[in-house]
Amino acid sequence: MKRAAASPRSVRTLLGERAGSIWRPTPAIIFSYASGYRDAIAAHNQATEIGQPARGTIYFAVDFNVDAAAMPLVDQYFRGITAGLAAAGGGSAKYKVGVYGSGAVCGAIRAAGLAHYSWLSNSRAWAGSSNYDGWDIKQAGKIAELSFNHDYNEARREYGSFRLPRDAAALSAEVTR
């Protein structure tokens, strides 16, 4: 859900007309409860602005190889996300939480009950990624036949996707630039 390159938001289209939202902090932030809370409110506002339906999922990215020392910070970040989405929704979260990252991150955040869905990064050398089987979406690299920059993603079950309203097509094109 981004408006400019410096913005930490993006919308990704997955599997045809279905869409998923991913919040990517840019530049890399210090993960904390407070930063998760702020990111959740901003992501909620952006999702509402583009017309993402209630109960759709916003994935929050942890796009680096998290070691054991940093995992408690990531946990606090997702606790802040949970609280921030509830606050932005007037006491009840309008959107579900998804986690994007390594197998270790996806597994830990899902096990803590802090995310409904997980999106496994294509970085298979990252902690826990080679044996993580709890993913809803798995980033799977590139398709050689396609000549444009892309990421191929495989979804094996419902992953919190949604359809944007038809009148949001123009807004969606602007937001993803």
Q: Is residue 101 within 8 Å of 136, Cβ to Cβ?
A: no
Percentage above 70 pLDDT, the chain: 73
Most trustworthy range by pLDDT among 45-49, 90-94, 147-151: 90-94
H/E stretch holding 100 reads: strand 96-101
- Which CATH code of 3.30.428.10, 3.10.350.10, 3.20.20.80, 1.10.645.10 fits the domain covering 9-175? 3.20.20.80
Helices (H) and strands (E) in the chain, counts: 4, 7
Domains in the chain: boundaries: 9-175
Pairing label, strands 57-61, 19-23:
parallel
71 pLDDT more than 50:
yes
**Identity of the residue numbered 67:** D
* Distance in angstroms (rounded) separating the CA atoms of residues 118 and 98: 6
Q: What is the pTM of this model?
A: 0.80
Is residue 104 classed as helix, strand or coil in its secondary structure? helix
Tell me: the pLDDT tens digits for 102-129?
999 999 999 999 999 999 998 888 998 9
Phi (first) and psi of residue 74, to 5 degrees: -65, -40
Check: CB of residue 74 under 8 Å from CB of residue 62.
Answer: yes
What interhelical angle do 33-50 and 71-88 show, nearest 10?
A: 40
Confidence band, pLDDT 50/70/90 cuts, at residue 166: low
Distance between CA 114 and CA 98 in Å, rounded? Answer: 8
